[in-house]
Amino acid sequence: MSSEFITGRANSPLSQIKTGILLVNLGTPDAPTAAAVKRYLTQFLQDRRVVDLNPLIWSFILKGIILPRRAPRVAKLYHEVWMEEGSPLLVYSLRQQRALAARLPQVPVELAMTYGSPSVKQALDRLQSQNIKRLVVLPLYPQYSCSTTAAAWDALSAELANRRDLPEISFIRDYAEHPLYIAALARSIQTSFERYGKPDLLLFSYHGIPQRYVDEGDDYPQRCEATTRGVVAALGLEPSEYKMTYQSRFGREVWLQPYTDETMRSLPSQGVKSIQVICPGFASDCLETIEEIEQQNRAFFLESGGESYHYIPALNDSVEHIDLFETLVTERV
């Protein structure tokens, strides 16, 4: 569908409805300090979409044990990846917002974080001050999960509950199989192959979630598998040439497997000496891709006998990624 329907150039009753776009990402600390990380993690880890344990018990564990230990350590990691303009996730998300706004000059485009700043309230205030009557919401999570996409929906719903004038809402659940998304990932991987040579193995590393969430109905792993199938088909890879894993597990509960870090340590003993890694679940590079995958897991692989390791960056604000975003939002009008 043409973007004219969003910009108001089409001769249609729908074109008279002023539309706004809201991009939503997870969030990030305001600074690479223990205090800022503690504020962020408190908000993030108290969301029952993320951790659904008994709130009284979990609050005691979180505030009394986890945050005092984890916040200083995580702050050091953020300090290592911090960019001149700020946290990588915020920097790339803002670049995406600005690039999309440049594509749709007549349409307000705002960015919100489920946790931290800019908040959903701040973004909605700016959009509603421009009298929008339709809101297209694009969570920046290619694969749906209750712990990310649904949490963004909750944050939006909670904020709208306090407002008298509600816009018509189109909420994009995910885009795991969208042709432009698959093509952009395949092109990014092919570029890496051309630069570094085709590796023994291409590894798709997705952010993990507790296995229990899947048992209770979250279709996240199926969405990740759909993305992998699409990219593998586009590249013409054989089953022996790629593998899927899950990263960033937290706590003692069983999460989706196989685990990325354990896989990295085991691959060299299986004859895999060169590897390239992509994280298709991340729309923007962040701590989990830059520090955990590009640095930490590189060390696991090389120290275990691997010889060549390359991380393929997220799509970030690439032209192909913004093409996808533009198509996603215009398709909804």
Q: Is 305 inside any structural domain?
A: yes
Residue stretches of the annotated binding site for Fe(2+) = 207, 288
Instruction: Find the domain containing 43 and state its range.
Output: 34-81
Q: Which of 44, 62, 81 is the last residue of a domain?
A: 81
Q: Is 324 inside any structural domain?
A: no
Residue 332: the pLDDT is: 87
Q: Is the pTM of this model over 0.85?
A: yes
Residue type, 225: E
Q: Is 52 inside any structural domain?
A: yes
When computed from its CA atoms, the radius of gyration of the chain, rounded to whole angstroms, is: 20
Q: Is 65 inside any structural domain?
A: yes
> Contact at 8 Å (CB) between 22 and 137?
yes
Q: Is 242 inside any structural domain?
A: yes
Residue 16: the pLDDT is: 67
> What's 105-126 look like in SS3?
CCCCEEEEEEECCCEHHHHHHH
Separation CA 232–CA 45 (nearest Å)? 34
Q: Which of 81, 116, 151 is the last residue of a domain?
A: 81
Q: Which of 45, 65, 81 is the last residue of a domain?
A: 81
Residue stretches of the annotated binding site = 207, 288
Identify the segments of the chain with pLDDT beneath 50: 1-14
Whichever domain contains 259, its CATH number is 3.40.50.1400
197: helix, strand or coil: coil
Split into its structural domains, the chain has a count of 2
Q: Is 328 inside any structural domain?
A: no
- The reply to whether 75 and 190 lie within a common domain is no
- The reply to whether 301 and 193 lie within a common domain is yes
What's the CA angle centered on 149, arms 145 and 153, to 5 degrees? 135
